[in-house]
Amino acid sequence: EPEPTPTPTPTPTAAAVPAKSKSPAPADPAIDPNAPPPTPIKKTKPTYRAFPGQEPGKCAYCKAAAHRLQTSFYAAHRAHHDDDHEELEKGREQKKKIPDDTLAMTMKGACDDEDYWSHYAAFNIETGGVVLAGPGLDWAVSDHHESTRVAGSHAKDLKSTCVAVAADAEKKDHFYETFWAKHLAGYARKWYFQEKFCDVACAAPHDEL
């Protein structure tokens, strides 16, 4: 009697792994004219705040005056050295003074230019307070909308403050002392005349209003 043929053992096969479905790439509006428009990015409007010393008053007036005196004093030295920055800095390091008449030509009218002072203006801040804006100050006139301008001129106060600061600085020879000390650690700020001449006027702590 013939032997029965053994039934072959089936070879196990690996389970089928379903293929991962890929998310369709977002439509490119530049390629697909039917693609939805991109979601606009919302821009947060900056919040402006006024701080003590920025309002029209002795601190802001002094800073504006010191800025005017520093730029005028520097301009006199620049003119004396024919716009040669290296020569100007060499003279500063060697503590050399320029001729009095050369200095006077630039400095004499620095405080008396009423047209210059008329460009300063006060503005209301939406979170409260009023600030003075203009050259050398924390605020520029272009920072504000014209509708927030506060009526009134500060030219007279700015001019008188400039005259007073200049007279005190000349009496103590602080113009040259401060100009020569510009590179010292105590005068690291760009507007170093403000540090020297306005420390008393701006002595109040700058806490948020």
Predicted pLDDT of residue 109: 87
**Of the candidates 205, 201, 183, which has an alpha carbon nearest to the alpha carbon of residue 192?**
183
Q: Determine the distance from the C-alpha atom of residue 121 to the mean position of all C-alpha atoms in its chain, rounded to a whole number.
A: 18
pLDDT per position as a tens digit, 3-58: 555 555 555 555 555 556 565 665 555 566 666 777 777 666 666 788 999 999 99
Quick check: helix, strand or coil at residue 139?
Answer: strand
Q: How much is the average pLDDT of 141-151?
A: 93
State the DSSP code for 121. E
Give the model's confidence band at 107: pLDDT under 50 very low, under 70 low, under 90 confident, else very high.
confident
Residue 184 scores a pLDDT above 60: no
Percentage of the chain modeled with pLDDT above 90: 39
The residue to which tokens 């004396």 are assigned: 80
Say if residue 88's pLDDT is above 80.
Answer: yes
pLDDT of residue 15: 55
Please compute the mean of the pLDDT values over residues 128-156 and round it to a whole number.
Answer: 94
- How confident is the model at residue 142, as a pLDDT? 92
Q: For the residues 73-91, what does the mean pLDDT come to?
A: 88
What pLDDT is recorded for position 138? 93
Res. 199: pLDDT tops 50 = yes
